[in-house]
Chain A
Amino acid sequence: MDQFTLNLLFVGASFALYIGIAIWARAGSTSEFYAAGRGVHPVTNGMATAADWMSAASFISMAGLIAFTGYDNSSFLMGWTGGYVLLALLLAPYLRKFGKFTVSEFIGDRFYSSTARMVAVICLLVASITYVIGQMQGVGIAFGRFLEIDAFWGLLIGSCVVFAYAVFGGMKGVTYTQVAQYCVLITAYTIPAVFISLQLTGNPIPALGLFGSTESGEPLLVKLNQIVTDLGFAEYTAAHGSTINMVLFTLSLMIGTAGLPHVIMRFFTVPRVSDARWSAGWTLVFIALLYLTAPAVGAMARLNISELMWPNGTSGEAVSVEQIETDPEYAWMATWQKTGLLGWEDKNGDGKIQYYNDQNADLQAKAAENGWEGNELTNFNRDILVLANPEIASLPGWVIGLVAAGGLAAALSTAAGLLLAISSAVSHDLLKGQLTPNMSEKSELLAARVSMAAAIVVAVLLGLNPPGFAAQTVALAFGLAAASIFPALMMGIFSTRINNVGAVAGMLAGLVVTLLYIFLHKGWFFIPDTNTFTDADPLLGPIKSTSFGAIGAAVNFAVAYVVSGMTKETPQEIKDLVESVRIPRGAGVAADGH
């Protein structure tokens, strides 16, 4: 059986499973559509939240970004897990006690203002749509690879599948489907990593293999440092970027994690307040299984790629074009070339492909000596690394098929969760909550589905010119959530002083400055060449657009505090509401706000 058929088989079988579950658990009422009747066990909920959370960014993109940067991209690892501490300690139990369906409902009630609710909906939509763009990038790459077509067509086909898929279920269908997706994606991520770790270090646990030793007794990371520096790249384990930027970037991802509506919504679906606390812990357990493996995947893939390009060692001859075209060990390069995400070119016509850093002075000298005319591995999209990884390590065909299915599971589960958050924001908060309160349940469901379709179209249009690799696009979404939603939620619970005007001013200020900073660096609405600054030379010192969310959040807190101090005090009944949210006793089943 050839690889294409095998991929098709694995992807097809996993899809049949998800769709089967979605049909079995179809949502009948609006309350089931949004919150699954709150009958979900913390461990089940944790697993579903983990699947919801670990998207194309975590699965497809993150290890590749770590592989090519090394230590400096540890921010992704700390940021996307550390946010759960904030969520568990500062938000989840209180929002569950409050007992409504959506994040914006809490903001609307706590800040006794329909304007606050509207602003929250807008913040949520901006963050979620940016997030969906990143997911669609991942979907495009995964479909492009497994159908062996250009990533552009992969994106179009993928978006149709995502839509068809998200529209069928509500949260209930999504919850159980996501449990299945979690199982598929974690298996798909772990199995190749175990194989590769065994090959390189003899240790079956990749997380330990990363700090283990290779056959020669040399530690893996020492060997990797040696090879990459030989090729003129930055040392893998050393810090190269600005410390301030790394701290702010990590913080943005953490705060953003705790401000993302589709993750927070999950904690509304557990039966009790104490379950909300446990649930956050279980979620992180399931996430950590992937996140502890990811740095190993990155480092080992980087080593494998470097060794493939220099089969005779870095002081020997580079791999020949002929070998790339005929040796089955290099077959993955031809397959990935079809997606337009991998490319090489024999610039000096010596029949070999020299892969090195042509910006490095030492290597330029070496290149001049040997007649190299620049790096010949001209294009290596970071986002292909995880999907290509089993092929790079020459693992069996079924592993490659499994990884394709896992990548799609990751992208689909998150896209579906986000679309659900977007549709509930539009139909439940905006239409039913504000514009047309007398809407029937049936038309609310219809509106939910129409807004899902609209969100996909917008995401695909903007996703054609993505502002970065998938994980970077997603990082921007986190910055936006960090700057707008999280501070409002936290102040709503921990301060009785912040009032309606303060909260609205804070959210708007946080959202606007962050959006502005992102657009100035990434182009207006991500349209190429409309940017004034670049992340290589940012407006504010070392602070890149992906790290600005933490500053945006600080602006939000400060503005809310100052404005609240100048305006009328919070009324007594709101202070009582805050008091009641703070203690678990009396948490009933959550109810619809209308």
Chain B
Amino acid sequence: MVSEIVFRTIGLTKVYHMGQVRVHALRGIDLELHAGELVVLLGASGSGKSTLVNILGGLDTATDGKVFYREKDLTQATDRELTAYRRNHVGFVFQFYNLIPSLTAQENVAIVTEIAQDPMTPEQALEIVGLGNRKDHFPAQLSGGEQQRVAIARAIAKQPGVLLCDEPTGALDSKTGVIVLEALDRVNRELGTTTIIITHNAVQAKMAERIIYLSDGKVTEIRQNEQKTSPRELNW
């Protein structure tokens, strides 16, 4: 499959200084991620998968090596440029949803579409995740799964170039988790958004086109998943 390269990393390294101790979170990652693909980053906690996604998403900076988003070198970007990059190109979904409790579902999406360049309407985004009828509810009135779906709607409403999901089902039971994964899968299929999902759950990896295994800050294996499974058939 030959398609456009969205992310390219060359020798990506990240070292944290925690007091006297130096922690190597990433030890030279070389990767290419393609437009429209759904990738799962699989690894135990501490394997560096969150660090990698944070750097890809412009939340963190690399200690060494290069990261390119399309033609743009993120390692050279200023804080202001990274903010603009996140604002215009990246959609985030977090383990703990991170919704604004004082805003309704619709407003939580609108807060992003108000500042985006070419957004869909909040209603459209909520429709895609199946929450069109709950748009006027506040987070406190929604279940965990619903909150996470609002978060997905918020992430995709700006029509981002990439969708980065860090343990999106981590705080959910498996049944609700499946519904959330279905929503992500649907976004990937219908909108063609490049999607990267972090998980430590090997079962979930079955829904990916490619699975990247991370261990101890290194890519240990990249596997093309020939039999992509629908999230509905996953069980853990």
Chains A and B belong together in one complex: no
